Structure 1
Amino acid sequence: MNKRVFPGVTARTLPRRFGTKLALSLSTALLGAMTLAGCAHQEPFHEHVPAQSNVPSPLNDLGADAGGNSGNNGNGGASSAIDAHATDALDAMGAYLRTLHAFEVDADTATDVVLDNGQNAALLHHTVLKVKRPNRLRADITGNGNGNVRGMVYDGRRFTIYNQKKGFYARQDAPPTLDGLVHDLASNWHIEAPLADLFYWGNGKPDDQSIQAAQIIGVEKVDKRSCTHYAYRQSGADWELWIETGRRPLPCKMIITDTTQSSRPRHEVTYHWKLNPVFAPSTFAFHARAGAREIELKPADRSPYEEAE
């Protein structure tokens, strides 16, 4: 099977009102991180999976021009009205997320890959993200049914990426804050930070021009939570967001559809939140397993989303 990495939407095409860091969220973000792009070791750090579909990436603003890889945005050229209540909801959610100093998110994700015959196939993952601002993060991801755990640990001084099954890990000095870490991962390593949307939602200058349509669908149940369902459209992507009603406007669920491809692959994530948890100091410390081998991490020479064979 030829590996294909699909061109199309980048974060530059996504609205700054949505933080310019619209989440591909967990599974693809961490899958991207686990590739250890540019790693000097010849053995692959990650397990082989088909190429990820080009749903928007939270930090993939390093390469191609905005939407410049495809002349067809899949929207048929249609223009739709923008409901200010729908865009205001993004601002309110982003402002609330920035007030959270400690949180834990369990996320179940399904991310489509496009097979050589054009068929979509969903990869399922479960990720647990633990964050303590301003400078602590741990993300552990499981999936593919093989019992492997991959992840990232950040302690305010350096980040570590690990793969238990492969027995590899890589450490690198890092900036002293989470915001600095996310920027460093993107700029120097082309690594997608896990759930980067949680650090950037609403943190930027509004740019409504990139949103072509925004509307409220209605109030629906996500699990047992009452959430308002919103739908947005922009060049190359349709996306839906469910935001919890009431005093805690937390994201409940998100679906992103890549409209640049005929099969319209999707990324879907459901969030489960724990606010103000108490983390033991060991949560954000990495301890290599017996026999694990440290490998060198070198800057990537290209974005993981460029075409590759």
Structure 2
Amino acid sequence: MRRSSLFVVAIACIVAPALACAQTRERRDAASSAIATAPAVQPEAVAALERMSAYLRGLKQFGLHADTTIDLVTDDEQKLQFPGTLDYKVRAPDRLYIGMKTDRKERELFYDGKTLTVYGPRNKLYAQTPAPPTIAALLGAAEDRYGIELPLADLFLWGTAKAPTSSLRSAAYVGPARIDGSVTDQYAFRQDGVDWQIWIEAGDKPLPRRLVITTTADPAQPQYASTLTWNTNAKVRDADFAFVPPKDAHRIEFVEVDVVATQEGSR
């Protein structure tokens, strides 16, 4: 059963104190009013995105932990939500480690500038393939060739030609907010098929602290949400990006997207 945001607010009015409910309405109405009366693409919102992007492009290495939730929609359009975590180690331009954990699966991705390895610690299976010489090139190659879409890939695309601000249909400043105790500014953006919100840390380190992506091209409008904890002083080593298979691990082969499509088409 789908329930609108107005339904949620109505229920909150029943179970919450009247003052709290009134404040919720005021915040919602203020945000709606601010967006409705502003230009479709607010220059200050685009400028904030560009400033954040430039700061991210300037980071030479970092660690990142993310608490995530993702919506999956069943065949009968019931929306299910699954929590998880991500851990990143990055050294630009050609070193990347990602650890992904949910209750359903666990994956590790290693990239050392030459080889991409994906490892499943639970089933002790791994696959390897030669990789392009930069993280930016890896993102496209992994998706195009193997259908691997790296989580939080936008972190490496903002501020590049692959994520132009000209694709924004709307961009708006929502207001200040606190994320894990940090003061941030919340912005809302729209592109074809996608609505997304981002909370950018205030001050001289404009890091993204929270990201919510809504797929509007799907009638169920599933969401992906991630709260980000940064360590821009993280110490990383070459060994962090080099995969050494455990003795009981078994290698399998990557299957290219074209091969999968051909096999499915022949059924």
- Describe the superposition over 1:204-226 as per-residue Cα deviations: whole angstroms up to 9, x where unpaired: 28855532221111111011111
Question: For structure 1, which segment, 293-302 or 103-112, has the greater mean C-alpha deviation from structure 2 after superposition?
Answer: 293-302
Q: Distance in 2 between matches of 1:206 and 1:195?
A: 13
Q: How many residues align?
A: 227
1:100 and 1:275 in contact (8 A); partners too: yes
Q: Distance in 2 between matches of 1:257 and 1:303?
A: 28
Determine the structure 2 residue equivalent to 1:177: 134
**Greater share of residues in helix:** 2
Q: 1:288–1:117: structure 2 CA closer, same or farther, 3 Å change rule?
A: same
Q: Distance in 1 between matches of 2:237 and 2:137?
A: 23
Give 1:260 shift.
2.7
Give 1:264 shift.
2.0
For 1:213-228, what aligned pairs fall within 5 Å after superposition?
213-228=170-185
Residue 94 of structure 1 pairs with residue 53 of structure 2: yes
Aligned mate of 1:279, from 233, 236, 244: 236
Stretches of structure 1 that go unaligned for 5 or more consecutive residues are 1-78
Stretches of structure 2 that go unaligned for 5 or more consecutive residues are 1-37
Give 1:139's aligned amino acid: I
1:152 and 1:159 in contact (8 A); partners too: yes
Q: 1:214–1:271: structure 2 CA closer, same or farther, 3 Å change rule?
A: same
**Greater share of residues in strand:** 2
Aligned mate of 2:251, from 274, 294, 309: 294
- Describe the superposition over 1:249-297 as per-residue Cα deviations: whole angstroms up to 9, x where unpaired: 1101011112233332111111110003112332112121222110112
Q: 1:303–1:98: structure 2 CA closer, same or farther, 3 Å change rule?
A: farther
1:128 and 1:139 in contact (8 A); partners too: yes
Give 1:80 shift.
6.1
After the TM superposition, which parts of structure 1 deviate over 3 Å for at least 4 consecutive aligned residues?
205-210
SS in 2 for 1:301: helix
Residue 247 of structure 1 pairs with residue 204 of structure 2: yes
Q: Distance in 1 between matches of 2:210 and 2:259?
A: 31
Question: Percent of pairs identical after alignment?
Answer: 35
Residue 193 of structure 1 pairs with residue 150 of structure 2: yes
Aligned mate of 2:161, from 196, 204, 227: 204
Q: Distance in 1 between matches of 2:228 and 2:259?
A: 31
Give 1:237 shift.
1.9
Aligned mate of 1:233, from 190, 196, 201: 190
Q: 1:178–1:121: structure 2 CA closer, same or farther, 3 Å change rule?
A: same
For 1:137-176, what aligned pairs fall within 5 Å after superposition?
137-144=96-103, 149-176=106-133
Give 2:84's aligned amino acid: H
Under a length normalisation based on structure 2, what TM-score does the superposition of the two structures give?
0.78
RMSD of Structure 2 on Structure 1 (CA) = 2.5
Q: Which structure is higher in RCO with an 8 Å CA cutoff and minimum separation 6?
A: 1
1:190 and 1:303 in contact (8 A); partners too: no
1:101 and 1:276 in contact (8 A); partners too: no
- Describe the superposition over 1:229-261 as per-residue Cα deviations: whole angstroms up to 9, x where unpaired: 001123322211100010011101011112233
